[in-house]
Chain A
Amino acid sequence: MAEQLRTETMTVNMGPHHPSTHGVCRLILTIDGENVVDCVPDIGFLHRAIEKICENRTYPQCIPLMDRFEYVTSMMCNWGFALATEKLTDLEVPERAEYLRVIMGELNRIASHLLCIGVTGLDLGALTPFLYTFREREDILDLFEMTCGQRLTYNYIRIGGVARDIPPEFYPKCRQFLDKIDAKCDDYEKVLTENPIWIARNKGVGILTEQLVLDYAVSGPSARASGVNFDIRKHDTYSIYDRFNFDVPVFHGCDSYDRYRARMAEIRQSARIVRQALDQMPEGEIRAKVSPKFKPKVGEVYSRVENSRGEMGFHIISDGTVKPYRVRARGGSYNHLLVTPEIVKGLKIADLVAIFASLDIIMPEIDR
């Protein structure tokens, strides 16, 4: 055709209620046909003022709120907050409690990665991985349930230790699960890793270069899929992670496919850590004596844990009273969503969905 058709860009609103935005996030897209020209995220639909509420609660009362700060890995949120408070009070955590924390934290990481992989499948139109991964996730939730009675918001890791000891039937069930998960990971890989559709949708899509990782402070598996070898458990170690043998999987593809592979590799590593922790775990106390109305010293503290989405940090300022003066919680998804517009420009809307899922963006962490 000699004369080109006149086209113009269009602004569409994706969300706040959209099944592939993983929560309530609104993306204002400027599109040219199917191609994304611009993407402006609008957040705040889940802003629950957790930071403000914490200023009016005592330290132990803050822990259930931290469950809701990032509910997919609640154990890690409890842990980060407890670590910060323990630093403020110079509290020694009993040996057994440290092991229980590691076991619960790593199981929670597996559950979170399983959720991410399953939901990525769902977003790309494949229902099978979703059903497979949730089957194994339920087994982990059973373990949590027999430990603390909850499936999602645990309130298990407390200041000075953990809430209660694990029941005796936990051990065989946990070992059984660990034996199973490796075989199940092979199954997922059979379904996904070599799957031509999966590769076509993910490989080379959403290139998150190392420069973008640095500029936008992306952390966690998403950064490690871009060649940034940084894992707080290994390089800035906390708790007792220096006692375990585990690798930090690093990939260099920078795309959605490698982010998926990084998560899959982490599941295997987490299972390895749990196995070692079960072997090494001593008997003993599970909680240091802490008064529910204890007063930490005046000061500031920042604690960080390696969450399944990157660094989860808690900055607490204490004025010496029973309540924290200021609590600031920081989650990895914040930076993932911030960097999304940079990597989706020029791609198709369908790719945006794949990228959003592969970065494992969870909204409560962003809005708080």
Chain B
Amino acid sequence: MTKEELIAYIQENFSGKIELIENDMAEPYFLVPAGEIVAFSRFIHDDTKLLLHFLMNLSGVDTKEQFEVVYNICSYRHKHRIFFKTVLPYDKAQVDTVIGIWPAANWYEREAWELFGITFVGHPNLKRFLLPDDWDQGHPLRKDWVGRDVIPFPEV
């Protein structure tokens, strides 16, 4: 399917619940509300016309006003891919886990939890793994994070 067909097909099945993000990326990019993530994921994973089996990437983003979680899914049978993201408020950064649909989400979500502080409800093992065991300085990839012994790069 081309990008336009993909967009039309997905919007048809999820009308009103998701929003298309206009940008000039080669792939469709949707905004999915946090409550719909699991239903939407289940649909694009199982639908025979989409078969988006590969969770290629899941990353957190701190936009200084809110958190975003970006999902990047690819289908090897149909050779297409889509992006979608969800927006979470700062004070309640919670979204349902998609680990039941894509087991590959396991570490991606753990990482987003560790580095951004986004909680994935239902994740079986939200434990620290990238940072040292005795880490007590919060979530370093947040934009407002200030580290104890970070030497800033000198501006030239």
Contact surface of A with B, Cβ cutoff 8 Å: 42-44, 47, 49, 51-53, 56-57, 214-217, 219, 228-230, 235-236, 299-302, 304, 311, 313, 315, 317, 326, 328, 330, 334-335, 338, 367
A228 interface neighbour in B61, B76, B152, Cβ under 8 Å: B76
A315 interface neighbour in B62, B72, B104, B129, Cβ under 8 Å: B72
A47 interface neighbour in B57, B61, B131, Cβ under 8 Å: B131
Assess the B130–A315 pair: CB atoms within 8 A. Answer: no
Assess the B57–A328 pair: CB atoms within 8 A. Answer: yes
B130 interface neighbour in A43, A228, A328, Cβ under 8 Å: A43
* 8 Å CB interface, B1-54 against A: 23-25, 27, 29, 53-54
Enumerate chain A residues within 8 angstroms of B70, measured Cβ to Cβ: 315, 328
Q: For B55, B57, B140, which residue has the most chain A Cβ atoms within 10 angstroms? A: B57
* 8 Å CB interface, B100-153 against A: 102-104, 106-107, 129-132, 140-141, 152-153
Assess the B102–A299 pair: CB atoms within 8 A. Answer: no
Enumerate chain B residues within 8 angstroms of A217, measured Cβ to Cβ: 53-56, 74, 102, 104
Given A43-B130, A214-B53, A338-B107, 12 additional A-B pairs, CB 8 A: A44-B131, A47-B130, A49-B140, A56-B153, A214-B54, A217-B54, A217-B55, A229-B76, A236-B79, A299-B23, A311-B74, A330-B56
Contact surface of B with A, Cβ cutoff 8 Å: 23-25, 27, 29, 53-57, 59, 61-62, 70, 72, 74, 76, 79, 81, 83, 102-104, 106-107, 129-132, 140-141, 152-153
A230 touching B57 in the complex, CB below 8 Å, given contacts A43-B130, A52-B140, A216-B103 = no
| Distance in angstroms between the alpha carbons of A338 and B108 in the assembled complex | 10
Q: For B29, B53, B56, which residue has the most chain A Cβ atoms within 10 angstroms? A: B56
B99: min CB distance to chain A, Å? 10
Residue of B nearest to A335 (CB): B104
Assess the B61–A43 pair: CB atoms within 8 A. Answer: no
A308: min CB distance to chain B, Å? 17
B26: min CB distance to chain A, Å? 8
Assess the B104–A216 pair: CB atoms within 8 A. Answer: yes
Assess the B130–A302 pair: CB atoms within 8 A. Answer: no
A and B contact pairs by CB, cutoff 8 A, 8 listed: A43-B130, A49-B140, A214-B53, A217-B74, A236-B79, A300-B29, A326-B61, A328-B70
Assess the B25–A301 pair: CB atoms within 8 A. Answer: yes
B110: min CB distance to chain A, Å? 10
| Distance in angstroms between the alpha carbons of A211 and B39 in the assembled complex | 21
Assess the B25–A215 pair: CB atoms within 8 A. Answer: no
Interface SS majority for chain A: mixed
Assess the B103–A313 pair: CB atoms within 8 A. Answer: no
Enumerate chain B residues within 8 angstroms of A49, measured Cβ to Cβ: 140
Q: Which 9 A-B pairs have the closest CB atoms?
A: A44-B130, A230-B76, A217-B104, A214-B53, A328-B59, A217-B54, A47-B130, A215-B103, A330-B57
Assess the B140–A313 pair: CB atoms within 8 A. Answer: no
Enumerate chain A residues within 8 angstroms of B129, measured Cβ to Cβ: 42-44
B24 interface neighbour in A53, A299, A315, A367, Cβ under 8 Å: A299
| Distance in angstroms between the alpha carbons of A206 and B124 in the assembled complex | 25
Residue of A nearest to B105 (CB): A217
Enumerate chain B residues within 8 angstroms of A299, measured Cβ to Cβ: 23-25
Assess the B131–A315 pair: CB atoms within 8 A. Answer: no
Assess the B57–A315 pair: CB atoms within 8 A. Answer: yes
Residue of A nearest to B72 (CB): A302
Enumerate chain B residues within 8 angstroms of A315, measured Cβ to Cβ: 57, 59, 70, 72
A57 touching B153 in the complex, CB below 8 Å, given contacts A44-B131, A216-B104, A302-B25 = yes
Residue of A nearest to B125 (CB): A40
Enumerate chain B residues within 8 angstroms of A304, measured Cβ to Cβ: 56
Enumerate chain B residues within 8 angstroms of A311, measured Cβ to Cβ: 56, 74
Q: For A43, A214, A330, which residue has the most chain B Cβ atoms within 10 angstroms? A: A214
Assess the B54–A219 pair: CB atoms within 8 A. Answer: yes
B124: min CB distance to chain A, Å? 12
B7: min CB distance to chain A, Å? 17
Assess the A334–B130 pair: CB atoms within 8 A. Answer: no
B136: min CB distance to chain A, Å? 16
Enumerate chain B residues within 8 angstroms of A228, measured Cβ to Cβ: 76
